[in-house]
Amino acid sequence: NGKHITLGIESSCDETAIGIVADGREVLANVISSQIDIHTAFGGVVPEIASRRHLENINGVLSQALEEAQITINEVDLVGVTYGPGLVGALLVGVAAAKAISFAKDIPLVAVNHMHGHIAANYVEYPELEPPFMGLVVSGGHTNIVFVKDYNQCETLGETRDDAAGEAFDKVARVIGLGYPGGPKVDRAAKEGDPHAIEFKRVYLEPGSYDFSFSGLKTAALNHINSCRQAGKEINVADMAASFQEAVVEVIVNKAISAAREFGQNRIVMAGGVASNSRLREMIREEGEKYGIQVMQPRPLYCTDNGVMIACSAYYKMKKGEFAGPDLDAIPGLEF
Ligand code: KG4
Ligand code: ZN
């Protein structure tokens, strides 16, 4: 029908996902096969199990995506794939599938940085959005404030020096007995708690720094639990969840707003799994309003890992002429 069709493959962690978009931003299919149930038994993602599962799932996910888009593989014009960062064995499954499709169907291949993919979810959710803008990428492995100058160009202004925001959520969730995956569970528990019950320290690092440090929070949570036990007091999980969440969210919001103001940007674009946190979404909107900063936040479905964001990012890389060849390899430690 004359539209450009991009297929995006994502397998960097525990979701096998394929998205299909028309002309970069129109979603035709979004199929996500989550492995959360399997990994929950182990309290976290087990890399070997993840890659095996991707391998078992990928063909089925592809068939389902094509069916959802009501197209055949012959109608696909471009294939994009996450090549890093992520678990090497998991990434390789997606990369191999993408190369096979590209070779068999003689269509170009684009390698997508998973983090750029997260940002691209916003192009799908906000059809008018174009760079430049301030990006806030908060996921299981990253906490980055990035100045997105163009579709293929972004500069990291700050990042975590230890744990990522999502990692902090997951660790504290384990400590307070909420289990895996921690983020959504803490989010839910916090709704019943008092965010000022426990004063967790807000770590801002040096003045003017956009870096983060969240590793102290797990220890602080453990210390609080121990002191409750020693005093014979009951541990209030909801209060702990709410107080911990408030501390993390407050620092993220203040730094993101400062960065937007310093760089003269009136838009903050959120991305990554932690961007679906309800308190973060609320506080950053409220603070943004005070300074005339518009906050873009994709629906939770597009914050966590998906193939649509990879397809969208691939489309814009293609527009910039950035293609990959048959020698494409997974890069687990790929930088932003
Ligand atoms: O972006 P993502 O799906 O995968 C990575 O690329 O890392 O992010 C997963 C992370 C996990 O740490 C998860 O606990 C966190 O996002 N997360 C949340 C929420 N939903 C997911 N953290 C806080 N609140 C949430 N509602
Ligand atoms: Zn992700």
Pick out the residues of the known binding site for Fe cation.
Answer: 114, 118, 305
78 assigned to some structural domain = yes
CA of 175 to the centre of ligand 2 (A): 23
Q: Clarify whether residues 85 and 203 are in a common domain.
A: no
Q: Clarify whether residues 211 and 75 are in a common domain.
A: no
CA of 231 to the centre of ligand 1 (A): 34
325 assigned to some structural domain = no
| HEC letters along the chain | CCCCEEEEEECCCCEEEEEEEECCCEEEEEEEEECHHHHHCCCCCCHHHHHHHHHHHHHHHHHHHHHHHCCCHHHCCEEEEEEECCCHHHHHHHHHHHHHHHHHHCCCEEEEEHHHHHHHHHHHHCCCCCCCEEEEEECCCCEEEEEEEECCEEEEEECECCCCHHHHHHHHHHHCCCCCCHHHHHHHHHCCCCCCCCCCCCCCCCCCCCCECCHHHHHHHHHHHHHHHHCCCCCCHHHHHHHHHHHHHHHHHHHHHHHHHHCCCCEEEEECHHHHCHHHHHHHHHHHHHCCCEEECCCHHHHCCCCHHHHHHHHHHHHCCCCECCCCCCCCCCCC
CA of 298 to the centre of ligand 2 (A): 13
In short, whether 102's Cβ falls inside 6 Å of ligand 1 is no
331 assigned to some structural domain = no
Q: Which residue has the higher pLDDT, 296 or 35?
A: 296
Q: Clarify whether residues 68 and 45 are in a common domain.
A: yes
221 assigned to some structural domain = yes
Q: Clarify whether residues 117 and 9 are in a common domain.
A: yes
State the chain's mean pLDDT as an integer. Answer: 95
106 assigned to some structural domain = yes
What total of structural domains would you count in the chain?
2
Res 28 pLDDT > 70: yes
What pLDDT score does 199 carry?
A: 92
Ligand having the closest approach to the CA of 142: 1
206 assigned to some structural domain = yes
CATH number at residue 266: 3.30.420.40
Q: Clarify whether residues 105 and 138 are in a common domain.
A: no
161 assigned to some structural domain = yes
Q: Per residue in 143-196, pLDDT tens?
A: 999 999 999 899 999 999 999 999 999 999 999 999 888 999 999 999 999 999
Q: Clarify whether residues 169 and 263 are in a common domain.
A: yes
207 assigned to some structural domain = yes
In short, whether 273's Cβ falls inside 6 Å of ligand 1 is yes
In short, whether 277's Cβ falls inside 6 Å of ligand 1 is yes
Closest atom of ligand 1 to 303 CA is: 1
Q: Calculate the dihedral angle through the C-alpha atoms of 27, 31, 37, 43, rounding to the nearest 10 degrees.
A: -60
CA of 150 to the centre of ligand 1 (A): 26
Mutation pick for ligand 1 pocket among 169, 278, 279, 306 (CB with most ligand atoms within 8 Å): 169
Q: Per residue in 59-104, pLDDT tens?
A: 999 999 999 999 999 999 999 999 999 999 999 999 999 999 999 9
Res 1 pLDDT > 80: no
Q: Where does residue 215 rank: exposed (0-12), middle (13-18), buried (19+ CB within 10 A)? A: middle
Closest atom of ligand 1 to 165 CA is: 12
What pLDDT score does 42 carry?
A: 82
Q: Clarify whether residues 76 and 160 are in a common domain.
A: no
Q: Clarify whether residues 45 and 192 are in a common domain.
A: no
Containing structural domain, residue 253 = 131-298
Q: Clarify whether residues 102 and 60 are in a common domain.
A: yes
CA of 11 to the centre of ligand 2 (A): 10
Q: Whose alpha carbon is nearest atom 10 of ligand 1?
A: 140
In short, whether 13's Cβ falls inside 6 Å of ligand 1 is yes
What pLDDT score does 110 carry?
A: 98
Q: Clarify whether residues 167 and 294 are in a common domain.
A: yes
Provide the pLDDT confidence category of residue 36 given band limits of 50, 70 and 90.
confident
Q: Clarify whether residues 138 and 253 are in a common domain.
A: yes
Q: Clarify whether residues 309 and 293 are in a common domain.
A: no
Mutation pick for ligand 1 pocket among 185, 274, 336 (CB with most ligand atoms within 8 Å): 274
- What mean pLDDT is predicted for residues 103-127? 98
